[in-house]
Structure 1
Amino acid sequence: MGETRPLPGEAAALGAWLHSRRLVLLKALLTRVERARTPERTARVLDAHWALLEQAESHDPAAARSALGYPAVGNWLARTLEAGPEGLPAALAGSGPLAAAVAATAGTAFGLDLPAPGGRLTLPGLGTYLTDAPCVRLEAAGDGVSFTPRGGRTVRLPRAAVLGHGYDAEQAPWRPLRGLEGGFAVLDDRDPHLGDGTRHAGLGGLRPVTLGVPGEADAWHRMWKRALRLLREADRERAAEVTGLVRSLVPVLWKPQGRASATRMAAPWAVLATRPHTPEELAEVLVHEVQHSKLAVLEGVVRLSRPGTEAVFQVGWRSDPRPLDAVLQGTYAHLALADLWDRLARRAAATPAERAAARGRRADYLTQVDHALFLLLGSGQLTRQGTEFVEGMRRRNARLTASGGRDAHGVAVAADKLTNGHFG
């Protein structure tokens, strides 16, 4: 995996590792509730939701695992596990929408009364039901799903429409997440736990947004399709990796007119991004953030560096000193970008100007990666597995350097543009 290129069987391994991690965190949450003096009603409701998760996994293991692997589930788990004793009962309310989403995806019959804070009942990975009521009765049986707000009219939908993001009735209370063409990803601007309760700590100053202006979602979808078309022209394996792994594209805001992207380590396969101006920009963001997600999942099962060090390092893509783990993450992502621009330079449809620009970007990234590899291998902080992983990066870096040379055109300018533009 150190060489960043997609590998046979890699996606399946990553999925299994992430599922294992999710089960560990869910069990840790259950154990915490059992040991804490949680109100009896809260514990009883959580037990019912847990039983529904078990039922869903028994009914359709693959579907249940897919739903549990959705990035917003990781955000909820992170928030709930970090909650203090006073905030834990409120955070646990997210177990109901999670159990409902998993059960609906697995085709399980169920009935739950779920809160709708702020007039919204959000099912992670599926969509949001809008209501004036404080809670909603959600039921699924056979091929149908029904929503009944307290004291209101029942809305019945085909289960396939809820799962397939295809219900678009004008002003309908059910608002599905919009599916993005060519893969499993959805455009997700509804995650209630992204940065919730922490003033967006860990998002590098990025702010989650809800798309409210007419045509915004269409603009994101068009740019997604153009970026995928570009990736397929340049590197079909990389395009397949992006469509096979990315689960959500999450619109965010940064500083005025600023462009940035990020991955939350607790929520792999979600790409947080400001809206890009070009397909090249989005293609770069997708490749970059997928590498962060891959490494986040890998580091959940393999220790690559030794804990307990406070040393920091200066790298070419950030103005602030970075700890070793961040250097490792950044080096891995930027090496993949050097590989991407190498292939964009060789694209048959590229103009001479586009080839020259792509070669310049490749050279910029190779220069940054070369320095970072020197820091990593000389740090003395890598484990045996970490050294093996970084040696894989070094080999890929050497091959890319040999294949295209290292012209220095535009290095300083490009490095300045990239500084602080990505957040892990």
Structure 2
Amino acid sequence: MGETRPVPGEAAALDGWLHSRRLVLLKTLLTRAERARLPAAASRAFRDHWALLEDAEHHDSAAARHALGYPAAGNWLAGALAAPPGDGFVAALAGLGTLAAAVATAAGCDFRTVLTTHDERLTLPGLGSLATPASRVRMEARGDTVTFVPEEGRPTSLPREGLRGPQTPPPWHPLNPLNPLGPLPGAPALLDDQDPHLAQETGRAGLAGLLPARVTAPEEAYEWRELWTRALDLLREADPERATEVATLVRAVVPVLWKPDGRASATRLAAPWAVLTTLPQTPEEMAEVLVHEVQHSKLAVLGGVVQLNSESAEAVYRVGWRSDPRPLGAVVQGTYAHLALADLWGRLARRASATPAERAAARRRAADYGAQVDHALFLLLGSGQLTRQGTEFVEGMRHRYQRLRSPAGLAAAGDAAASAGAQHTEAAGAHHTEGAVGRLTNRHFG
């Protein structure tokens, strides 16, 4: 994995590691709930929702596993485990109901349960949301039909498969698929602007200044789909293996806002395979964002399996893509992502359809990222903080970088381009690496 290139069996291994991590966190939540003095109603609801989750796993383990791996499930789990004792924890546990209902729906179970709404919406992660002023909704699934019955409201019945359909009428609001007919493997990625647990962290400290954004018009969703499709077309031309990796691993693209006219992207440790990003301006920017954040997701999952480095509060490092000091774990994350971008831009420069100007610009970008990686590898290997597995991992990165430095790789761009790119990075400010797109990603890994 250290070389950043997709390898056979890697996606399956990552899926298995993430699933194991989700099960461990769910078990931790169960233990905490059993030890807490929950009110009788909250205790009954928790037991019912837990049983529904178990039923879904028994009914169709593969479908349940896939639904449980959806990024929004990770956001809820992280929030629930961090909730303070008492009323805060009780309120957080209500999210198990919507997660269990989404997993059971995906697994094809017949069930009946009562769920709690949030901000006049009942949101099922990975599916969509029901707009309702009711505080509670009874949800029933029988065969191919799902029915929502709000308290003192009119029932809404939909085909089970129709929950994902783009033509579903209100009050149900499905998530927008980005590639419903895509030729690449993997489930269709979703444009997810409905995660209530992410929205709870909208403070400037919670998401490092990023604010979740809603897609309110059909033309906005169309613009996102066009960028997604054209970015994957670009990746297929330049790097088919990377295109397959992105299409296989990315489960959700989450629109966010930053400062006016600013562009940024991020990955959350708790929610791998979700790409949080402002709207890129070009397919090239979108391709870069997707490749960059997929690498962060891969390391987020890997970090639950092996420890790559030991952390020290006193050990901070300065890297080319940030002007503020970074802990070593963030340097590992940034080096890994920027190495993949150096590889990406080198391949974009070699596209048969690239114009001379595009080819020269891509080589400059590759050289810029390569110079940043070169310095970061020096810091990592000399830090004394890498574990045995971490040293092996970073040596893999160094091996890939040396291959990129061959005449067919970064060296063709020249030292002048690397210097110009480094100056451009420093001018970007303390929180972002500017270029095609800004970054807030590393803030979530430090």
TM-score under structure 2 normalisation? 0.92
Instruction: Measure, in 1, the Cα distance between the counterparts of 2:198 and 2:376.
Output: 31
1:340-370 CA distances to partner (integer Å, 9 max, x unpaired)?
0011011111001100000000000000000
Q: Supply the AA of the counterpart residue of 2:32.
A: R
Instruction: Measure, in 1, the Cα distance between the counterparts of 2:201 and 2:91.
Output: 11
| Residue 369 (structure 1) aligned with residue 373 (structure 2) | yes
| Residue 320 (structure 1) aligned with residue 319 (structure 2) | no
Mapped contact 1:116–1:133 kept (Cα < 8 A): yes
Mapped contact 1:178–1:187 kept (Cα < 8 A): yes
Corresponding residue of 2:172: 174
Mapped contact 2:202–2:210 kept (Cα < 8 A): no
- 1:36: Cα distance to partner? 1.8
Q: How does 1:17-416 map to 2 (within 5 A)?
A: 17-86=17-86, 87-162=88-163, 165-170=164-169, 172-181=170-179, 182=182, 183-194=187-198, 196=200, 199=203, 201-402=205-406, 403-404=408-409, 405=411, 406-407=413-414, 408-409=416-417, 410-415=420-425, 416=427
- 1:195: Cα distance to partner? 5.0
Instruction: Measure, in 1, the Cα distance between the counterparts of 2:386 and 2:379.
Output: 11
Mapped contact 1:361–1:414 kept (Cα < 8 A): no
Q: Supply the AA of the counterpart residue of 1:411.
A: G
Distance 1:191 1:22, change over 3 A: same
Equivalent position SS for 2:197: coil
Instruction: Measure, in 2, the Cα distance between the counterparts of 1:244 and 1:118.
Output: 33
- 1:132: Cα distance to partner? 2.2
Equivalent position SS for 2:196: coil
Instruction: Measure, in 2, the Cα distance between the counterparts of 1:302 and 1:169.
Output: 43
Equivalent position SS for 1:184: coil
Mapped contact 1:67–1:105 kept (Cα < 8 A): yes
Equivalent position SS for 2:6: coil
Q: Supply the AA of the counterpart residue of 2:135.
A: P
Unaligned runs of 5+ in 2: none
Mapped contact 2:147–2:156 kept (Cα < 8 A): yes
Equivalent position SS for 1:241: helix
1:220-254 CA distances to partner (integer Å, 9 max, x unpaired)?
11111111111111111000000000000000001
1:104-125 CA distances to partner (integer Å, 9 max, x unpaired)?
0000111111122221000001
Distance 1:132 1:275, change over 3 A: same
Q: Supply the AA of the counterpart residue of 1:168.
A: Q
Instruction: Measure, in 1, the Cα distance between the counterparts of 2:206 and 2:189.
Output: 23
Instruction: Measure, in 2, the Cα distance between the counterparts of 1:215 and 1:167.
Output: 13
Percent identity (aligned): 65
Instruction: Measure, in 1, the Cα distance between the counterparts of 2:380 and 2:206.
Output: 24
Instruction: Measure, in 1, the Cα distance between the counterparts of 2:277 and 2:303.
Output: 23
Q: Supply the AA of the counterpart residue of 2:165.
A: G
Instruction: Measure, in 1, the Cα distance between the counterparts of 2:30 and 2:167.
Output: 37
Distance 1:345 1:197, change over 3 A: closer
Mapped contact 1:202–1:264 kept (Cα < 8 A): no
Stretch deviating more after TM superposition (292-301 or 113-122): 113-122
Equivalent position SS for 2:48: helix
Stretch deviating more after TM superposition (388-397 or 127-136): 127-136
1:117-138 CA distances to partner (integer Å, 9 max, x unpaired)?
2210000010000112222111
- 1:141: Cα distance to partner? 1.1
Instruction: Measure, in 1, the Cα distance between the counterparts of 2:160 and 2:348.
Output: 41
Instruction: Measure, in 1, the Cα distance between the counterparts of 2:233 and 2:207.
Output: 29
Equivalent position SS for 1:193: helix
TM-score under structure 1 normalisation? 0.96
Q: Supply the AA of the counterpart residue of 2:421.
A: V
Aligned length: 421
1:43-97 CA distances to partner (integer Å, 9 max, x unpaired)?
2211111111111001100000000000000000111111101310011110110
Q: Supply the AA of the counterpart residue of 2:232.
A: L
Corresponding residue of 2:14: 14
Unaligned runs of 5+ in 1: none
Instruction: Measure, in 2, the Cα distance between the counterparts of 1:169 and 1:377.
Output: 54
Mapped contact 2:311–2:329 kept (Cα < 8 A): no
Instruction: Measure, in 1, the Cα distance between the counterparts of 2:208 and 2:363.
Output: 30
Instruction: Measure, in 1, the Cα distance between the counterparts of 2:175 and 2:118.
Output: 19
Corresponding residue of 1:421: 439
Instruction: Measure, in 2, the Cα distance between the counterparts of 1:144 and 1:308.
Output: 54
- 1:308: Cα distance to partner? 4.5
Instruction: Measure, in 1, the Cα distance between the counterparts of 2:171 and 2:371.
Output: 52
- 1:421: Cα distance to partner? 2.2
Mapped contact 2:339–2:397 kept (Cα < 8 A): yes
Equivalent position SS for 1:113: strand
Q: Supply the AA of the counterpart residue of 2:289.
A: V
Mapped contact 1:195–1:203 kept (Cα < 8 A): no
Instruction: Measure, in 2, the Cα distance between the counterparts of 1:370 and 1:37.
Output: 54
Mapped contact 1:126–1:176 kept (Cα < 8 A): yes
Mapped contact 1:364–1:414 kept (Cα < 8 A): no
- 1:200: Cα distance to partner? 5.5
Instruction: Measure, in 2, the Cα distance between the counterparts of 1:158 and 1:169.
Output: 9
Instruction: Measure, in 2, the Cα distance between the counterparts of 1:412 and 1:318.
Output: 11
Instruction: Measure, in 2, the Cα distance between the counterparts of 1:202 and 1:319.
Output: 21
Instruction: Measure, in 2, the Cα distance between the counterparts of 1:237 and 1:112.
Output: 43
- 1:22: Cα distance to partner? 0.2
Equivalent position SS for 1:271: strand
Equivalent position SS for 2:198: coil
Instruction: Measure, in 2, the Cα distance between the counterparts of 1:374 and 1:287.
Output: 23
